[in-house]
Each structure stands twice: as structure tokens, then as C-alpha cells.
Structure 1
């Protein structure tokens, strides 16, 4: 196995030789073999161990075992204890998902603080099979059937070409010590049930099952590459990227034979999962929304608009006192007294200070708002202005107004109100600019 591993690293991960590696070591057989292999080949390694405190004293014994083993090999070791049960409650996640979240967040932190290059885990081919079957039973797209990626950002899994049997044989032949997790023998978890009851039957039905599965996985990955390529090409034709959001043109999207598949490819990385609700948006009324943890998908007339949730607590209005020369939030404005008017624009207006009442108010629009557009006679409802200017629902939500009491001075960045504009007779001129 050592020779096969060495060739595998030289062929597929040659850059690891010059990098500082962080090995995730639980103390189990897989990770202890991973540790031995990289130590034997004299790589620059450190070890990270998470004590999730889920198995009472056994968790602490695992921790001591890893610390002692690495100490005898003079390998730098990072060990942290986590109150996983409580954190799972705080995060509102299962124990397994909470442990995963904790683990990878800490790994990422260590890479930065300790100036390390990447994290290596001991996932192997049998883990691939179990993950494939778990995703298959729960329902998944093509990506879910391609298994665990060998490289995912700074996470590398160099043992994925090896079976559990190969790892066990190597450990026994080289007298490698490890800690056995008693929970691995239980069928309480789906992964264990598949490992103990399903995979052995598949191997019995086909003695070459492991190799056949590896070949199938390779074919699925190649198919996924084709899907990704097609998705990127169609994305450029159908999706318009704005500063703060993306706009998907529904008319062009629905001309595609498999438009639902493209939506899946584009939206899944953003955490969306309510696919039937998303597909129903095509024929829904404007204003309908679907949410992921961090994003909103909005139906707006003939488009889908994808934007990040505004997690900050936005107040309905902000006051600007007399004498304030700079506003920093919720948007940046400069307010200065001027002697004359020069170059008014959408980004800068000149107002007559004698016509305004302090404090000025920054707020979002309200039903019934109206103003007297500069360059026009008479008043206009703001809702009509938004319609004429082809504002999307998101544009309307993001538009700020500058007001004097309940009267609009400026649709900021767009249009000033005639009633407040300074002219050649104005004595006190105020310039307000973005």
C-alpha cells in the first residue's frame, strides 16, 4: 500500500511535498494509517484532533491516544474539546451535522492562524460507496452521486482510491495501533446500516464490486463535468449579473428543454432546496419568494431576482440633524453649504435650505407617496414613477428617499423634487450628494 500511495501522491498531488499539511486524526484505523503513510514519506505534517465529547471517557482516551502518539513522533498537534450536544441545540442541527460544522470551521481557522496550506482527511473508497448510497436513498441530483470530492478547496482526501480492506491489512501488517469507536458497530445510524447490511451483499453479488463502483464513479464525474460546462454556457445567456443581485430572464429560461435542471445547477450552491416551490415560481404572481438560509429568490414580472438576505436590522427611517455634513449609514451622503449652483446631476442636488425643515429624514417609500419631479409640471405618484422607470420589486425595496417632514426632496440617485430645488434667487444653497 505504501508504494501505491507514494505513486498516487506523486501523480495526483505532487505539490503536497512542498506544503505544510494538517492531518485530521481521530485515532481510528483510517486516520492512523493516513498518519503513518505521510510520516513514512517525510512530509511536513501537523495533526489536528477534535474531541466532540460525545462518548464520555472514551472520547478523552481517544484524545490522549492521539496526543501521545504524535508526541512520540515529534509531530505538532492541535487538540480542541467541543460541547457538541449543546452546540447542536444552538445551531439547530443534528449531532452529526453540528460536529461536521464545528470540525471544518476549526480546520479553516487553523489553516489561517498557523499558516498551513491544506487539511487532509482519511476518507476512503468504502466511505464513497456509503455516501453514494445515502444520497441515493434520500434523493439527489447527479452531483450527489459523484461521491466525496478528492479536492474541495483546502480539503484533500488522498485515500479515496483505497478500500477499507486495504487500509486494515496495512495497519495489521505494520503493527499500527488505533482506537476503535464502539458506535461504529451500531446500526443506529444510516451509514452504519449500509456498511454492515447493504454493502456486503453488493460485494457478494459482484466480487469485483469495488472496482466496478470506482469505474461508475469516474463516469459520473465525467458526466458532471459536461453538465457544469453546459450550465456555464447557458448561464451567460440567461442570467444578468447586477451589483447586488442576479436577474434570471424567465422567457429565455423556459425556452430551454430542461430549464429546471439549469435552475437546480445555479441555485443549489446558494443553499436552495425547496425545488417544487422554485419551479412553481415560473407561473406565480410577482412578489412570490423562496428562501434559502442566506438568499432570496423573488419572482418579479418576467424575471427571477436572486439576492442576499439583508441580515442587518434596517430601521424604517433615519434623521439627519441640521449642521451634519456627512452621513455614513444607511448610505453615504455629503451635505455642504454652497455659494452657487454647479453641475446638478442624479448623484448631486442643490436645494434651498429655507424651504426644508430639519431634521431631514432618510426612509424607504410608502404607499401613497408622491413628489413633483424636476423638469415637469405637477405631481406624480411614486408608484407610477417606479412603474415608468421599470423598477423591479427589489429596486423599489432598495430605493432610499430624502424627505423634509412628509415631503420628498429627492429620490436619491434618481430624481429631485421641484419644490426644494435651489435657483438663482436662493440665498442659502445646500448641496447634497452621494
Structure 2
């Protein structure tokens, strides 16, 4: 197996030579063999072990075993203990999904903090078959049937061509020691049920099961590659990238065959997995929106607007109208610069300089501190600079052709409940500098 792995690495993972590699090691036979083999073939490695605190003393025993393994191999070792049950409860996840999130998040931290280049996991051909069947049983698209990727950003899986039987035989032949995870025998988990009850019988009635499934997956990957190439053309045709996200032009989609499938393919990489909700948006009214864990998709006058949800924001509160418009930030007379919620400078000056959408000059004697920064509300009116009459802010937004997302991001600078400035768009005529002005304030919106 060592010779086969050496050939496989030279053919498919030549970029690993000279890199610092972190071996994800549970203490089970697969990861123990991976740690030994990568060390034997001369790679610079370290070992990372997660204690998920799910099996009491057994979990602690796994950790102790991995520490001894690292000492035997004379390689660095990193361990971390997680309260997986609490995390799963807090995040509304299954225990398995919680463990996966915790594991890969920690791996990212190790890569960054200790200058490792890649994490190697011991996923093998039987794991790949199990994943194929799990995705098939739950309902998936083509991508879900293509198998576990051998390279996924900085996660590398060099054991995918090898079966669990090959790995176990190597471990026995080399007299290696490993830990058995008692939870692997519990068939309450779908993966374990497939592993112990379904796949062994499937292998009995089929020939070269793993090889044939891998061949099928390669055909599926080729088909997926064709789709990916097609989607690049669609992206260039129907999607516009802008500073806060993407705009998908519905008229362009309407001209295409299979527009529902095309739309879903465009959005799946942004975490949208509810196919029906996405498709229903095609015929929904403007203002309708759906969410993934990371993005919002909003329909607005013939386009879909795709924006990222900030990590610090809660979906429900961000897009609740009353919550969104209840934020008020006060600017005192002594403040010359603020950075929250937006960056502004408020500086006295003796003359009016260059005017643009990000800079206004006002008569300081026409305002009262504290000034207030807030979001717009229905019924807001102001007198746009250069105009004699007042105008509803909603009408101003319509004339400016602002999208719903853009309107949500507009801030108003106010004095005594009067709008001084629709920040970044238009100042109010009532506060402008005149020939009788004694004190001038320059207010500038800064890039952040």
C-alpha cells in the first residue's frame, strides 16, 4: 500500500512536496495508517485530534492514544476538547453536523496560527460509497452524487482510491495499534446502518463494487464539469456583480430553456438548497425574499438582488421593518469624527469646498446638536438641495432608481427631526450655506 500511495501522491498531489501537512487523526485505524504512511514517505507532518466529549472516558482515551502516537512519530500534535452537545443545541444542529463544523473551524485556525499548508483526512473509498448512498437517499442533484472531493480548498484526501479493507490489512501486516470507536457500531446513525447492514450485502451481489461506483462518479463529475462550463456563460450573460453583491437579470433568464434549473445552479453555491422557494420567487411580487444561512435573495423590479448576510447580523432582526428602522445614533457637538454606524467627519471650515455626493456644507447656526443618524421611515420628507418644494423620501428613492436593498442601507442625518442629508445622495436645501452664514460645517462620508 505504501508503494501505491507514493505513486498516487506523485501523480495527483505533487504540490504537497515540501509543504507542512496536518493529519486529522481520530485514533481510528484509517487516520492512524495515514499518519504512519505520510511520515514514512517523508512528508513534514503534524497531528490534530478533536475530543468531542461524546463518549466520556473513551473519548479521553482516544486523545491520550493520539498524544502517544505523535510522540512515537516525533511530530507536533494539537488537541482540542469541544462541548459538542451544547454547541449542537445552541446552533440547532445534529450532533454529527455540530462535530463537523467544530472540527473544520478548528482546522482552519491551526492552519493559520501554526503555518500549516494543508489538512489531510483519511476518507477512503468506502466512505465515498456511503456518502453517495446517503445523498441519494436524501434527494440530491448531480453534484451530490459525484462523491467526496479529493481536494477541497486546503482539505486533502489522499486515501480515496483505497478501500477500508486495504487500510485494515496494511495496519495488521505492520502490527500497528489503533482505537476502536464504540459509536461506529451503533446503527441508529444512517451512515453506520449503511456500513454494517446495507453495503456488505450490496457487495455480495455486485462485482468490484467500489471500482464500479468510482467509475460512475467519474462520469458524473465529467457531466458536472460540462454544467459548470455552461454556467460560466450564463453568469456572464445574466449576472452583474456590484459592490454589495450580485444582480440577476430575470429577462435574460426568461430567454433560456430550463430557467428554473439554471437559476438553482446559479444559487446553490450561495447555500440555497430549498429548490421550491427559489423557483417560487420567479413569479413572486417585488419585495419577496428568501434566505440561505449566508445570503439573502430579494426580488426587485425584474431582477434578483443577492447580498451576503453579515456575520454579526441576525436574519430576523435585520429584515424586520420596525427593528431595522429603530436604530438612532447621536452625534454630539464635540465630536469631529464617528465610525459607527458609518464613518463621517464633521469639521468647521471657513469656506465651501468641492461638492460631491459624499460631501456637504451646511450653515451650523441652522442646526441643533445632538445630530441624529437613523434609517428612513415611511412618510419622511425633505427639500432636496436646489429645489423649492418638499419631496417624499420614497418618491426620491424611486426617482433615483434605488433598489430595495440600497434603500435599506440609506442613512439620514437629522436635526430636530428634519433631514439635513440623505447621506451619500442629496443634502437638504433648508440647511445650505448662504451669504449670511457665519459658521460653516463640512460633513464628509468616508470610505470604510
The TM tier, using the shorter chain, reads: over 0.9
In structure 2, C-alpha distance between the alignment counterparts of 1:105 and 1:191, rounded to whole Å: 23
Q: Are positions 1:207 and 2:222 aligned together?
A: no
Counterpart of 1:421 in structure 2 is: 432
Gap change, CA 1:82 and 1:347, over 3 Å in 2? closer
Gap change, CA 1:75 and 1:427, over 3 Å in 2? closer
Stretch of structure 1 that moved more, 299-308 or 335-344: 335-344
Q: 1:413: Cα distance to partner? A: 1.5
Aligned length: 434
For residues 387-426 of structure 1, the C-alpha deviation after alignment (integer angstroms, 9 at most, x for no partner) is 1111111111111111121211111121121111112232
Q: Are positions 1:397 and 2:447 aligned together?
A: no
Q: Are positions 1:379 and 2:379 aligned together?
A: no
Q: Secondary structure at the residue paired with 1:18? A: coil
Counterpart of 1:198 in structure 2 is: 198
Counterpart of 2:166 in structure 1 is: 166
Counterpart of 1:334 in structure 2 is: 345
Counterpart of 1:43 in structure 2 is: 43
Q: 1:67: Cα distance to partner? A: 2.0
Counterpart of 1:235 in structure 2 is: 235
In structure 2, C-alpha distance between the alignment counterparts of 1:18 and 1:171, rounded to whole Å: 26
In structure 2, C-alpha distance between the alignment counterparts of 1:413 and 1:48, rounded to whole Å: 49
Counterpart of 1:343 in structure 2 is: 354
Gap change, CA 1:168 and 1:240, over 3 Å in 2? same
Q: Secondary structure at the residue paired with 1:178? A: coil
Counterpart of 1:277 in structure 2 is: 277
Stretch of structure 1 that moved more, 210-219 or 340-349: 340-349
Gap change, CA 1:136 and 1:319, over 3 Å in 2? same
Question: Which residues in structure 2 correspond to 1:2-13 (within 5 Å)?
Answer: 2-13=2-13
In structure 2, C-alpha distance between the alignment counterparts of 1:146 and 1:4, rounded to whole Å: 23
Counterpart of 1:129 in structure 2 is: 129
Counterpart of 1:92 in structure 2 is: 92
Q: Are positions 1:296 and 2:285 aligned together?
A: no
Counterpart of 2:363 in structure 1 is: 352
TM-score normalised per structure 2: 0.92
Q: Are positions 1:252 and 2:252 aligned together?
A: yes
The root-mean-square deviation of aligned C-alpha atoms, in Å, is: 1.7
Question: Which residues in structure 2 correspond to 1:59-70 (within 5 Å)?
Answer: 59-70=59-70
In structure 2, C-alpha distance between the alignment counterparts of 1:402 and 1:83, rounded to whole Å: 46
Gap change, CA 1:27 and 1:412, over 3 Å in 2? same
Structure 2 residue ranges without an equivalent (≥5):
319-323
Q: 1:190: Cα distance to partner? A: 0.5
For residues 35-81 of structure 1, the C-alpha deviation after alignment (integer angstroms, 9 at most, x for no partner) is 22112212211111112222222222222222223322322222222
Gap change, CA 1:217 and 1:428, over 3 Å in 2? same
Q: Secondary structure at the residue paired with 1:270? A: coil
Q: 1:119: Cα distance to partner? A: 0.9
Q: 1:258: Cα distance to partner? A: 2.2
Q: Secondary structure at the residue paired with 1:408? A: strand
TM-score normalised per structure 1: 0.95
Q: 1:82: Cα distance to partner? A: 2.1
Structure 1 residue ranges without an equivalent (≥5):
none
In structure 1, C-alpha distance between the alignment counterparts of 2:105 and 2:63, rounded to whole Å: 19
Gap change, CA 1:420 and 1:122, over 3 Å in 2? same
